[in-house]
Chain A
């Protein structure tokens, strides 16, 4: 897109995009760090993740302030207006993702105090998947690439599929031995947190689509989390 006649307007819009990209980088880091803390039973690392969540909250505040200032002082229109409103929403999604990562770290702390459960390979796998979604959807945002955003949006199905299989796996462990229930429940919440991060990535994908095209996504949203209907017998 061509540049604004008022240069500082471009600078402000670019700075807002930059803040979002930085938030995304922090979220990716937090996801991986929280899962590493879990897999390696590293409580110091988990504490670090919990403490670092503040950085993401602070950036969200900053994006919100910038958006308010832009609305009040620049009265943005059309694509500029859509950028300001989507930036606020994307920042809110990223902030929630940060909370989920911090929650994974908190549960890792608890699990580290219990006997190790049988390794659940699906958790790092889900983490890797959602981290990739966060990275790609923010690239799509910065590059205004709708196709890339929609590819992320469709990938959410894979996350749901992993989550569903993990859910069933954990059910069988719990049925095996009631002592497994406490760690398995924590593990289940951890997986659910990661799965929710994927959902927020799809929200961002929808925002990118709206930012570029000015209308909502037409496809029906992929719906993959079927655990609401699952029973131990299934």
Chain B
């Protein structure tokens, strides 16, 4: 019971709508969040990065390292970049101004003015050699430190401690990314609908990426994090950063890798440590939900037989009937449906999904309720 309550408190505390969260927490005995709650988590952990609002603008905007940095590295890169721009700016502006002056001042007006005859001016020439050199010296100092910072995470971060560092092996393949979390033992990649899953990271927790490829070269790039690294088959490249802003960040493969290069999208979600615990729990139960999912979405328009489904659901809860497990089942069914609905190319399926989603989901919710309320004793260890 303690565990259950603990899980529930965590779950509710992290809801995006605080009101509902409070409501549930005070209810205390309530064991299930409503379906809206499930959907909110789906939106949190697997957002639709292509969603447009009614004005045709993206719901999750693209953020980049320079104007909306979302990691410590990106923040430094932005600062450094603005500094460089500031130092270089005169060399952009000055020639343009001089050009305009020359154009307006020295045009041939047919007044018989004799053109000048000078051909050198050593002082001036020295100036426009020396001053740019000076500018280069100025920009080269601050960048030095940042260069080395980008190489390795700070030594005080204990990379063996899962609370301090997330280590992810990133594998590119034509045309998707696989992620393996080292400490958490989670493997993700493409979801039930074959769409890219987001890389879920923890706010303020140093993230190390070990990047490689299964086939051709790729490059992992989420602009807001300020990092990009090529992926090569047969070798590892590394990069690191610490997310400093929670939210949804979009990216794309940044090395031409074949016909699907343009649709090799990347998304990444930064969540709080508590939310990440929920995510881990969801991932732990994920594999067990597949059978139920397969049964549920069988065939276009076909409804799954109640008996078959019930057997599967019962089996699912035999192992463990904790709230976490229950939530995971509801989450994954909703998440898989959400993905199917997003997948652009399956028009026929798409329509079917929209049409039958609600009834199938109701069917399942009902089953879960019946199975769990049946008197059969279940182990409640999480």
Q: Are A and B co-members of a single complex?
A: no
